[in-house]
Amino acid sequence: MRVPKALGDFLVLQALCKTGGTAIAVSDAQCGEMMKLLAGRTGIFAAPEDT
């Protein structure tokens, strides 16, 4: 999810609460590994967004 401003963190948390969603923290290395796995299995090339 792209968060364009510091204000965005509040909006993300609000959306998670409203939808019953979940968020977890992962390292950059873990993110890269999962991006490769996703691409290899599905052909979807996801990109992490900078805040």
pTM for the predicted model, two decimal places: 0.55
Please give the pLDDT value at position 51: 37
Residue spans per domain, the chain: 8-42
Q: Report DSSP letters for 4-44, one per residue.
A: -STTHHHHHHHHHHHHT-------HHHHHHHHHHHHHHH--
Identify the residue with better confidence: 7 or 14.
Answer: 14
Mean pLDDT of 3-10: 66
pLDDT digits (tens, 9 = 90+) for 26-50: 888 998 999 999 999 999 998 776 4
